[in-house]
Amino acid sequence: QVQLQESGPGLVKPSETLSLTCTVSGGSISGNYWSWIRQPPGKGLELIAYSYYTGNPYYNPSLTSRVTISVDTARNQFSLILSSVTAADTAVYYCARLVDRPTVAFDYWGQGTLVTVSS
Amino acid sequence: QTVVTQEPSFSVSPGGTVTLTCGLSSGSVSTSHYPSWYQQTPGQAPRTLIYNTNTRSSGVPGRFSGSILGHKAALTITGAQADDECDYYCVLYMGSGIYVFGDGTKVTVL
């Protein structure tokens, strides 16, 4: 059973950089796509970015200038960097495995980590 | 920019049937959008219910089914239970590697 676990600081100051890591266990990070999804308090889900394990990332156009996703196959981890954060970036951040066509699904999810942007 | 539309809320009686839909602000949803559906209870991560329009994820009860109804993707809950009271999100593949979440539907069972 594949399991994902997010880690990183729960509080980030405005204008600083948010950095999160997702550790994958119970399966290999190779051969798959990996994604970051966020959910502001009381709101819906938003895809931030995803990447194949070898690279070729996709970024949400509304965030592309501030986001980087990277995959570390040696550590079975992938990471998210979001720069110049504001209060609008306060959200629960989920990592998830994305299964791409012909089967399309975000099939395994982490439990989520709340990141608050505040001074 | 095309928006994925869902009903904001729906109410269903225990044992009743409810159909949630997932549409596009412009155009029709087809199997080529690979509709998938996710269930989220408060404070929990989303859980995959349906993918590829109508394939139930492992362990998902048979009362959940997916389909294309008219020009939208649909999630039907047949025989709703109290545990089904939560939020439901759809995701559509828009081509060119783009996946878009709908805003979600809050289902109340009463």
pLDDT one-digit tens code per residue, B13-26: 999 999 999 999 99
Q: Among positive and negative, which fits the CA dihedral A95, A58, A56, A9? A: negative
Q: What pLDDT digit, counting tens, does each position of A30-77 carry? A: 999 999 999 999 999 999 999 999 999 999 999 999 999 999 999 999
Confidence of residue A103 (pLDDT cuts 50, 70, 90): confident
Which residues in A lie closer than 8 A to residue B5 (C-beta atoms)?
none
Contact assignment for B51 to A46 by CB distance below 8 Å: no
CA-nearest residue of chain B to A35? B99
Shortest CA distance from A37: residue in chain B: B101
The Cα B9–Cα A4 span in angstroms is: 30
Residue A118: pLDDT above 80? yes
Q: Is pLDDT larger for residue A102 or for residue A11?
A: A11
Q: Which residues of A touch B38 (CB under 8 A)?
A: 45, 106
Percent of chain B with pLDDT over 70: 100
Q: What percent of chain A has pLDDT over 70?
A: 100
Residue A5: what pLDDT?
Answer: 98
What percent of chain A has pLDDT above 90?
95
How far off is chain B from A46, nearest CA to CA, in Å?
6
Contacts of B29 (CB under 8 A, 6+ apart): B22, B23, B35, B68, B71, B72, B73, B92
CB A71 within 8 A of CB A51: yes
Comparing CB atoms, the residue among B48, B51, B89 nearest residue A45 is B89
Q: What is the mean pLDDT of chain A?
A: 96
Q: What SS3 state is found at B82?
A: helix
Name the residue of chain A whose CA is nearest to B48's CA: A107
pLDDT of residue B6: 98
Q: A23: burial class by Cβ within 10 Å (0-12, 13-18, 19+)?
A: middle
Q: Does B99 touch chain A if contact means CB atoms closer than 8 Å?
A: yes
Compute the distance between CA of residue A72 and CA of residue B51 in angstroms, rounded to an integer. Answer: 28
Q: In this model, does residue A106 exceed pLDDT 80?
A: yes
The whole-number pLDDT of residue B5 equals 97
Average of pLDDT values for A106-111?
96
State the best of B41, B48, B90, B100 to mutate against chain A, taking most chain A CBs within 10 Å: B48
Residues in chain A whose Cβ is within 8 Å of chain B:
37, 44-47, 50, 58, 94, 98-99, 101-107, 109-112
Model pLDDT, residue A20: 98
The residue type of B76 is: T
How far is the C-alpha of A33 from the C-alpha of A98, rounded, in Å? Answer: 5
Question: What's chain B's average pLDDT?
Answer: 96
pLDDT of residue A21: 98
Structure tokens at B15: 């044992």
> What band does B44 get if pLDDT is binned at 50, 70 and 90?
very high
